[in-house]
Amino acid sequence: MSTVDPVVPAAAVDVLAVARAEALFVAPVSAGPLSRAAATVAIRAALRACGGVRGCAGRVAAEFGDHPEVAVVRMRWARATVAALFPARAGRVPAGGLVAVGAAANVSAGRAGVGDG
């Protein structure tokens, strides 16, 4: 049996939110309330420290492998923080087509626009 990442319509995945959440996950900040400005600084710093979105995704994967019980809680916090501080806008996701969920979605996010919103 082959294992393939599930594929969902592009409109269901905000790749910028995924990239932000992964960067915030690996950022050296305490899980808790953050201002938008503080989150933006932390996200940008994490992206620089990891060498971009792929580096952040790799560190997230390593944490899930090494400490899954802690990683789950931190990713929930990171995703909730990103959703609250950077609401999705129309046009944020690629128009049409399909986007893979999981690792494939992470590499297509890019770094551009991380702090805008």
pLDDT above 70: percentage of residues in the chain = 65
Residue-wise pLDDT tens digits, 55-100: 999 999 999 999 999 999 999 999 999 999 998 765 544 444 444 4
pLDDT at 16: 94
Task: Characterize 28-65 residue by residue with b for buried, 16 or more Cβ atoms within 10 angstroms of its Cβ, and e for exposed.
Answer: ebebeebeeeebbebbeebbeebeebbbbbbbbeebbe
List the chain domain ranges: 7-107
pLDDT at 13: 72
pLDDT at 108: 39
